[in-house]
Amino acid sequence: DTPELVRYYRELEELGTGALWTVANKIEPWEPASPSVPIIWRYNDLRDRVMRALELVTPEQAGRRVVYLANPARQDVVAAVGWLYSGLQVMAPGECASSHRHSASALRFIMEGEGAFTNVDGHKMTLGRNDFVLTPNGTWHEHGVAEGGTPCIWQDGLDIPLMNALDANFYEVHPDLNQAVTYPVDDATATWAGAGLRPAGQDWSKRYSPLFKYEWEPTYEALQRYARVTDGSPYDGVHMDYMNPLTGGAVMSTIGASIQMLRPGERTRA
Ligand code: 1HN
């Protein structure tokens, strides 16, 4: 840059402007460029630490006991990768968090424990190991573990960094703290998880899946059945998407979810 250009850039800066040609490659990369770095979080390393939060903080103190996954190259936001947040949450038997909603969409995968439940807009769902559950943007939700259960750990995934980047996130506590159960327990799965069937005349106009809970047994069975007739992807093994049964598309507009099965000895390509 010549002294004249440097002066010019300074003048522009003082006026709250800039010369596009100095930043064009940065703001319009030739290819998508992720600042996140690859990292493996091992459940074996994290599980005991997550459990320790049960003794260290009460739900009242913590709001929720979560150990979040921090991508080391993303110090600017709390993100596991890209614009997605993820964490491991633990709750003890008899605990129930207050109901709330936010513009971030959330999904959860139950890692372990018995007796977990969640209530999404009045649809209470019982949650077992390896179940997958949605709490889409704007839905009231609360989670807990039944008195007779065991400590439960689930992995949360939310599009919090994305919503924050859009200046669109908010968090609201339910006026009644806990919301009523207004439908029969597990009705969403009973209504929308039929094998290729949907209830006649039932409409759904929301932009997320009406099926909030994807149970593990039919999921594992679907993987095994598919594996009988396919070699699977050389990159991803037997790979299936959780879908909105009404559209065949992603479960929510900003976060999709898939399940992968690797068979014994299987090693996939990069
Ligand atoms: C949230 O609402 C949950 O509902 C979990 O359990 C993790 C992380 C950030 C903001 C909201 C939950 C969250 C969260």
Separation CA 248–CA 137 (nearest Å): 19
For a mutational test of ligand 1's pocket, the pick from 111, 153, 154, 156, i.e. the residue with the most ligand atoms closer than 8 A to its C-beta, is 156
Assess contact for 67 and 88: CB atoms under 8 A. Answer: yes
pLDDT in tens, the chain (270 residues): 899 999 999 999 999 999 999 999 889 999 998 999 999 999 999 999 999 999 999 988 999 999 999 999 999 999 999 999 999 999 999 999 999 999 999 999 999 999 999 999 999 999 999 999 999 999 999 999 999 999 999 999 999 999 999 999 999 999 999 999 999 999 999 999 988 899 999 999 999 999 999 999 999 999 999 999 999 999 999 999 999 999 999 999 999 999 999 999 999 999
CATH number, position 57: 2.60.120.10
What is the spatial distance between Cα 234 and Cα 269, in angstroms, rounded to a whole number? Answer: 6
Rounded distance from Cα 80 to ligand 1 centre (Å): 14
Q: Is 27 among the domain residues?
A: no
Residue 141: give the domain boundaries.
43-261
Burial per residue of 193-210, b for 16 or more beta-carbon CB atoms within 10 angstroms, e otherwise: beeeeeeeeeebeeebbb
Task: Give the DSSP H/E element, type plus range, for residue 27.
Answer: helix 24-27
User: 59 CA to middle of ligand 1, Å?
Assistant: 13
What is the tally of structural domains in the chain?
1
Coil/strand/helix, residue 249: coil
On whether residue 52 sits in a domain, the answer given is: yes
Is 30 inside any structural domain? no
pLDDT of the residue at 96 = 94
Predicted TM-score of the model (pTM): 0.94
